[in-house]
A and B are shown apart, each in its own frame.
Chain A
Amino acid sequence: MASEIYECLSKIAGIISENKDFLTELDREIGDSDHGINLARGFSAVMEKVNPEDADIGATLKKSGMTLLSKVGGASGPLYGTAYMEAGKVLAGKTELDAEGLKSAFEAAIAGIQKRGKAVKGEKTMLDAIIPAYETYSQKLSDGADMITALEAACNSAREGVEYTKTIIATKGRASYLGERSIGHQDPGATSSTLMLEAVLDVLKGK
């Protein structure tokens, strides 16, 4: 049987590939029409690097992050690459995700994205999905929810975050060249990060 982290990565790669054209189309409206192509190239390279036997979540995430840094090509490469590598650092040696581990991985990933891209919430980026998702996740855990319930709620917040990106002006990344004209369009990176969270939820639910 494949390890948990391998299943997560392979689910993410599958969902990204299914949504390749959709993500690229979103990026055509407010960017340079490559987000889906970039991520599909990155995750197919990740799937060539990882093996079903890779059990150490930290080491596998590190390897995946290194691959994303070099194969994605767009801003989402160093951003997701750093996020995966930073999450990998806090999960080093773990072979199964637990509620607290996922929480600290979330935190580390966000810190990595912010270190790299110097963006905050409200700039129409992936952070507008990921930060609310994290906030909901950690609130649900403190309310006593289990990991899956908390992650389900987090995915809802991420989807709301994607909707919210339609209402704001981009001030980071390529879309910022469009200024006011970026309003009305959802952010490709917020969309792809929501798809990734949904993929992880799917794997954890299926266990």
Chain B
Amino acid sequence: MVGIVIVSHSWKIAEGVCDLAHEMAQGHEGIIPAGGLEDGSIGTDAQRIADAIVEADTGDGVVILADIGSSIMSAETAIELLEDEGNNINVVIADAPIVEGTVCAVVEAAGGGSVDSVLKSAEESREASKL
């Protein structure tokens, strides 16, 4: 099953989004938060994200959902750190809102979708109108 990593500046957001996603995840266990810094402060930590990617991967690859600002830069850095270590997990970053994107991604992943289809579902959430 494709793993999902939730990157946020805030660990509360990352864990909260994971909790929300678990409700629709049908037992999918590879939804891993990577929020804040080790000491709990607000920020992003490439090493923490790299560890979460490894934890989320079961061999089918990982899709990252990220919030604002340096989340994307740190996620890209994490992917490079893993590549430098010779770790070739198939990881992609979704260009999607973190809450809506995660829910869509998790449903697709739990249904057995590939990295490409999970990414597509996450990114399609951008188009969904709320009103």
A73 nearest CB neighbor, chain B only: B43
- Most A C-beta atoms less than 10 A away, residue of B44, B48, B81: B44
Task: Check if B73 is an interface residue, CB within 8 A of chain A.
Answer: yes
Q: How far is the CB of A28 from chain B (nearest CB, A)?
A: 15
* Cβ-defined contact, B77 with A69, below 8 A: yes
A174 nearest CB neighbor, chain B only: B69
Contact stretch, chosen from A3-11, A78-86, A135-143: A78-86
Task: Check if A70 is an interface residue, CB within 8 A of chain B.
Answer: yes
* Cβ-defined contact, A116 with B45, below 8 A: no
* Cβ-defined contact, B44 with A77, below 8 A: yes
Q: How far is the CB of B106 from chain A (nearest CB, A)?
A: 27
Task: Check if B114 is an interface residue, CB within 8 A of chain A.
Answer: no
* Cβ-defined contact, B73 with A73, below 8 A: no
Residues in B with CB closer than 8 Å to A69 are 45-47, 74, 77, 81
Task: Check if A72 is an interface residue, CB within 8 A of chain B.
Answer: yes
The SS class assigned to the A binding surface is helix
Number of B positions contacting A (CB below 8 A): 18
Knowing A71-B45, A73-B42, A78-B70, say if A116 contacts B37 (CB, 8 Å).
Answer: no
* Cβ-defined contact, B48 with A79, below 8 A: no
A75 nearest CB neighbor, chain B only: B70
Task: Give CA–CA (A167, B75) in the complex, Å.
Answer: 32
* Cβ-defined contact, B76 with A73, below 8 A: no
Q: How many A-B residue pairs have CB under 8 A?
A: 58
> Quick one: CB contact mask for A111-140 with B, threshold 8 Å, 1 for yes?
000001100000000000000000000000
Pick the residue among A34, A73, A74, A82 that contacts B77 (CB under 8 A). A82
* Cβ-defined contact, B37 with A75, below 8 A: no
Q: How far is the CB of B51 from chain A (nearest CB, A)?
A: 10
Which B residues from 58 to 105 make CB contacts under 8 A with A? 69-70, 73-74, 76-77, 81
* Cβ-defined contact, A78 with B77, below 8 A: yes
Which A residues from 59 to 79 make CB contacts under 8 A with B? 66, 69-75, 77-79
Pick the residue among B38, B43, B76, B81 that contacts A77 (CB under 8 A). B43
Q: How far is the CB of B81 from chain A (nearest CB, A)?
A: 8
Residues in A with CB closer than 8 Å to B73 are 75, 78-79, 116-117
15 CB contacts below 8 A, A to B, read A34-B42, A69-B74, A70-B46, A72-B43, A73-B37, A73-B43, A73-B70, A74-B44, A75-B70, A78-B76, A82-B77, A116-B76, A116-B77, A173-B69, A174-B69
- Give the A-binding residues of B (Cβ under 8 A): 9, 37-38, 41-48, 69-70, 73-74, 76-77, 81
In the complex, besides A69-B81, A70-B46, 16 extra interface pairs with C-beta distance below 8 angstroms are A69-B46, A69-B74, A70-B37, A71-B37, A73-B43, A73-B45, A74-B70, A77-B43, A77-B74, A78-B76, A78-B77, A79-B73, A116-B73, A116-B77, A173-B69, A174-B69
